[in-house]
Amino acid sequence: MAIVDSARGTRRTSHAAFRVLRVSGCCLLGLVLLMVLSAPDPMAAATAAPVPKAVLVLVDGVPADVIERVATPHLDAIADRGGYTPAQVGGAVGTATETPTVSAPGYMSLLTGTWANKHRVRGNYDLEPDYSYWSLFRLAKAVTPALQTGVFSTWTDNRTVLLGAGLAETGGLAIDHVADGFEQDSSRFPPLADDRHIQQIDRHVAAEAARVLSAHGPDLSWVYLQYTDDVGHALGDGPEFDAAVGVMDELVGQIWDAVQQRQHRNAEDWLVLVTTDHGRDVATGRDHGGQSPRERRIWMVTNSARLTDDFHGQATIVDIYPSIAAHLGIIIPQTVAAGLEGRSFIAPAGN
Ligand SMILES: [Zn+2]
């Protein structure tokens, strides 16, 4: 089994063993030889490093105190492999980097590793991002053109505006696996009160992400689940919000299952990182956008076994970009690295 799934070099060893068996003409000797050569080769396993892959899951507007209180068994299962930490969004208050605790600015900080003074996204609409700060997807494609990417999202603007897929300003960034645009499909997902149809879309997005991750194993993916923010705006803190967090956890569990199955079948090293883009106001939980501690306090869950002390210290949303790059083994060109605001909390491979 290991031979079928392992690197090309090991498969060649298997074929060589078959040829040796035929040439020898001695059944017993040949059988022994085949058994020896067919066994997993520790040297091959040691030299053929598994292919690094990463999936970033962004769930919208879930404060750290909620994720720490509500039962989330699937997130717990991921954290058991790596860790959980509270973290920060919003830049440094009162400085140039201060960034609204609003969705698109948060996603953009995540995607570019910079704050709003650089990426220029300060709201959710009428955006004019500064694409000179390369997204993680653009970086990955530039460094390794063969690398495959995926975006699975309720909100099409995540791909077309924030990542700038297909635009001249991003060098015509291409995303290989896409599942989005469902919020514009009112015949398939007719609008419901309190945006409850968004939860149906999230279920579809998660299922599509799990299917594509399992079947194709793109090297870098972004999964975006929105409904938690909608229920927060509609109803604030309370049992409905907690229930939405529970559903979100189930959907993350589908993605985690797909990754685990994939890793079981293939010589791959998967990083799963789940985070949120902002907290919510302390009074009601309906709002966000300001710089209060609850709005700024986010969290991260990951299965990474290479977390550094920085993860459990003062991790911020802009640290995710260099961390995923570190997992993928991407050497960030100096022109891009010079603009980054964060630093990796994942140690380089081999450390
Ligand atoms: Zn949001």
CA-based nearest residue to 138, from 350, 349, 342, 333: 333
Q: For the CA atoms of 8, 12, 14, 16, what is the dihedral angle to 10 degrees? A: 180
Q: How far is the CA of 279 from the centre of ligand 1 (A)?
A: 8
Q: How far apart, in whole angstroms, are the C-alpha atoms of residue 288 and residue 229?
A: 10
Task: Label the pairing between strands 268-276 and 51-59.
Answer: parallel
* 55 Cβ contact partners less than 8 Å away, ≥ 6 residues apart: 209, 213, 220, 221, 222, 223, 255, 259, 270, 271, 272, 273
Quick check: 216 pLDDT over 80? Answer: yes
pLDDT tens string 95-150: 999 999 999 999 999 999 999 999 999 999 989 999 999 999 999 999 999 999 99
Q: How far is the CA of 79 from the centre of ligand 1 (A)?
A: 22
Quick check: 7 pLDDT over 50? Answer: no
* 327 Cβ contact partners less than 8 Å away, ≥ 6 residues apart: 52, 54, 269, 271, 304, 306, 346, 349
Q: How far is the CA of 204 from the centre of ligand 1 (A)?
A: 19
Q: How far apart, in whole angstroms, are the C-alpha atoms of residue 185 and residue 76?
A: 34
Percentage with pLDDT > 70 across the chain: 86
pLDDT tens string 169-202: 999 999 999 999 999 999 999 999 989 999 999 9
Q: How far apart, in whole angstroms, are the C-alpha atoms of residue 211 and residue 258?
A: 7
Cβ atoms of 91 and 116 within 8 Å: the answer is yes
Count of alpha carbons within 13 Å of 33, Cβ hemisphere only? 18
Quick check: 18 pLDDT over 70? Answer: no
- Summarize the confidence of residues 25-38 as an average pLDDT: 43
Q: How far apart, in whole angstroms, are the C-alpha atoms of residue 146 and residue 85?
A: 33
Neighbours of ion ligand 1 (CB under 5 A): 60-61, 103, 229, 277
Amino acid (1-letter code) at residue 37: L
Quick check: 69 pLDDT over 50? Answer: yes
Q: How far is the CA of 295 from the centre of ligand 1 (A)?
A: 10
What local confidence, expressed as pLDDT, does residue 334 receive? 97
pLDDT tens string 252-311: 999 999 999 999 999 999 999 999 999 999 999 999 999 999 999 999 999 999 999 999
Q: Is 86 left (phi over 0), alpha (psi -120 to 50) or beta?
A: beta
Q: How far is the CA of 32 from the centre of ligand 1 (A)?
A: 61
Q: How far is the CA of 56 from the centre of ligand 1 (A)?
A: 15
Q: How far is the CA of 147 from the centre of ligand 1 (A)?
A: 29
Quick check: 42 pLDDT over 60? Answer: no
Measured over all CA atoms, what is the biggest interatomic distance in the chain, rounded to whole angstroms? 82
Quick check: 342 pLDDT over 50? Answer: yes
DSSP characters for 56-105? EEEETT--HHHHHHS--HHHHHHHHHSEEEEEE-S-STTSTT---S-HHH
Q: How far is the CA of 325 from the centre of ligand 1 (A)?
A: 24
Topology of domain 49-337 in CATH is: Alkaline Phosphatase, subunit A (3.40.720)
Q: How far is the CA of 227 from the centre of ligand 1 (A)?
A: 10
Q: Which ranges constitute the DSSP H helices of the chain?
A: 2-5, 8-24, 27-38, 42-47, 64-69, 73-81, 103-112, 116-119, 136-143, 157, 196-216, 227-235, 239-265, 293-296, 320-328, 334-337
What local confidence, expressed as pLDDT, does residue 61 receive? 98
List the chain domain ranges.
Answer: 2-46, 49-337
Can you tell me which residue has the tokens 């589908």? 254
